[in-house]
């Protein structure tokens, strides 16, 4: 599979890294909005259907076309673009049913292509062309000092002369390296244990960031936006695992229909989708239900209490049985008296 990774790239560690590399690629911003949307939808589907142990994915072209709402030709062009940008490698190409071998059941089936998700490597060597070292702002010095052969002698300004009235020296044009030194402050992703409750605003923000990290659909929303939606659930003792379960399953245990998931990068629409699904987990008064972790904890406490009661009951029964066995019954007393009377005769 390592041979399938494009040159200058490495196998991705997480699907978010691949999506981030796509959005930060210099060619991505030059595409039309429709092309950008297609690339995002295709890559998002590849990530959702990926095996995160090997970072391989194999959705069929028909499925990709249905999700992205485009033709097979557009899907082929999008996959080729992702390969050229070093974000996708082909592990095994697919085959149509008419070219596939006959299976044990005598039928021919389609074989989906297998891809591996990749990200550009920061340690990869960048291959440059013959003109890559020369730009419109200047030519770098040649090797061996050969650039000194065209050096012209200059004369210093005579003493006592003035520079007043002299034309100002033009400033050289600035290249990309002379851009503003202002940098966007780095804000790392906050992590939070999935089965741990929160006790402060900062912890709720970390839990929201963890939920956003685990549900790729929520990536267009900011951690603060997600935290505002789930605030009362976290205050009620819900965990990240509880919220993820509530967004995937209904209170009766059946999964939510897949058709209800919005295919949108609009944060307000995703916010409404979250509130609609979480509304099913509220009482008529608007209070959150007991979460799955809370119910599991209560059931575990009840099981331990029941086990303690059973242990105490068995101990009392053993003590009562031992007391009964230790005392002489009336029949035993009569029998012993008869035996002693026979011995005395």
If asked whether residues 230 and 335 sit together in one domain, one would say no
Cα–Cα dist 222/217, whole Å: 12
Choosing from 279, 311, 330, the residue where a domain stops is 279
Residues 205 and 315 placed together within one structural domain of the fold: no
Count of domains forming the chain: 3
The residue among 279, 309, 331 that closes a domain is: 279
pLDDT exceeds 70 at position 79: yes
Both 273 and 317 in one domain: the answer is: no
Is residue 311 situated within a structural domain? Answer: yes
The torsion angles phi and psi of 326, rounded to 5 degrees, stand at -70, -25
Burial class of 22 by CB neighbour count within 10 A (0 to 12, 13 to 18, 19+): buried
- The domain of 267 spans 201-279
Same domain (yes/no): 247, 307: no
Confidence of residue 277 (pLDDT cuts 50, 70, 90): very high
Claim to verify: residue 10 and residue 93 sit in the same structural domain:
yes
Question: Where residue 3 falls among pLDDT bands split at 50, 70, 90?
Answer: confident
The answer to whether residue 70 is domain-embedded is: yes
CA distances from 186 to 170, 183, 190 (A): 37, 9, 12
Give dist(CA 325, CA 309) in Å, integer. 25
- In three-state secondary structure terms, 91 is strand
Instruction: For residue 88, give the CATH number of its domain.
Output: 1.10.10.10
Tell me: do 19 and 94 sit in the same domain: yes
Does 247 lie in the same domain as 336? no
**In whole numbers, what is the pLDDT of the chain averaged over residues?**
78
Query: Which DSSP symbol is given to 133?
Result: T
How high is the pLDDT of residue 1? Answer: 66
For residue 315, is it within any domain? yes
User: Mean per-residue pLDDT for 272-298?
Assistant: 92
Assess if residue 161 is contained within a domain.
Answer: no
Read off the pLDDT of residues 103-138 as tens digits, 9 standing for 90 and up.
455 554 456 889 999 998 876 544 444 444 554 444
Residues 256 and 324 in one domain: no
In a domain, 229, yes or no: yes
Looking at the domain assignment, is residue 104 inside a domain? no
The pLDDT of residue 226 is above 90:
yes
Predicted confidence at residue 183, as pLDDT, reads 42
Confidence grade of residue 185 (pLDDT, cut at 50, 70, 90): very low
Report how far apart, in Å, the C-alpha atoms of 306 and of each of 293, 300, 301, 316 are: 20, 10, 9, 15
In a domain, 89, yes or no: yes
Q: Residue 198: pLDDT above 90?
A: yes
Confidence at residue 186, expressed as pLDDT on a 0 to 100 scale:
44
CA distances from 314 to 318, 320, 326 (A): 6, 10, 18
Do 333 and 270 share a structural domain? Answer: no
Quickly state the pLDDT bin for 99 (edges 50, 70, 90): very low
Q: What does the buried/exposed string (b/e) look like for 26-56 if buried means 16 or more CB atoms within 10 Å of the residue's CB? A: eebeeeeeeeebbbbbbbbbbbebbeeeebb
């Amino acid at each position: 599979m390592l041979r399938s990774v494009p040159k200058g790239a490495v196998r991705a560690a997480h699907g978010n890294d691949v999506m981030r590399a796509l959005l930060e690629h210099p060619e991505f911003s030059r595409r039309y909005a429709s092309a950008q949307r297609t690339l995002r939808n295709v890559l998002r589907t590849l990530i959702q259907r990926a095996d995160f142990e090997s970072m391989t994915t194999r959705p069929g072209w028909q499925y990709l076309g249905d999700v992205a709402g485009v033709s097979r030709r557009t899907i082929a062009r999008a996959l080729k673009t992702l390969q050229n940008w070093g974000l996708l490698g082909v592990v095994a190409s697919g085959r149509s049913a008419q070219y596939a071998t006959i299976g044990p059941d005598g039928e021919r089936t389609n074989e989906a292509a297998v891809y591996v998700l990749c990200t550009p490597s920061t340690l990869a060597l960048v291959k440059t062309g013959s003109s890559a070292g020369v730009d419109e702002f200047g030519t770098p010095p040649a090797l061996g000092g050969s650039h000194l052969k065209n050096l012209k002698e200059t004369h210093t300004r005579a003493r006592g002369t003035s520079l007043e009235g002299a034309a100002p020296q033009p400033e050289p044009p600035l290249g990309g390296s002379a851009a503003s030194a202002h940098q966007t402050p780095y804000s790392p992703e906050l992590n939070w244990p999935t089965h741990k409750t929160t006790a402060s605003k900062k912890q709720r923000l970390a839990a929201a960031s963890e939920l956003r990290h685990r549900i790729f659909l929520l990536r267009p929303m900011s951690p603060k936006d997600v935290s505002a939606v789930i605030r009362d659930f976290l205050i009620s003792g819900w965990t990240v695992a509880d919220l993820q379960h509530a967004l995937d399953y209904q209170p009766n245990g059946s999964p939510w229909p897949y058709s209800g998931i919005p295919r949108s990068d609009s944060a307000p629409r995703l916010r409404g989708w979250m509130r609609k699904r979480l509304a099913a987990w509220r009482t008529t008064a608007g209070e959150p239900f007991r979460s799955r972790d809370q119910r599991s904890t209560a059931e575990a406490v009840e099981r331990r209490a029941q086990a303690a009661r059973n242990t105490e009951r068995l101990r009392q029964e053993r003590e009562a049985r031992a007391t009964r066995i230790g005392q002489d019954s009336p029949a035993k007393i009569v029998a012993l008296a008869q035996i002693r009377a026979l011995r005395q005769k």
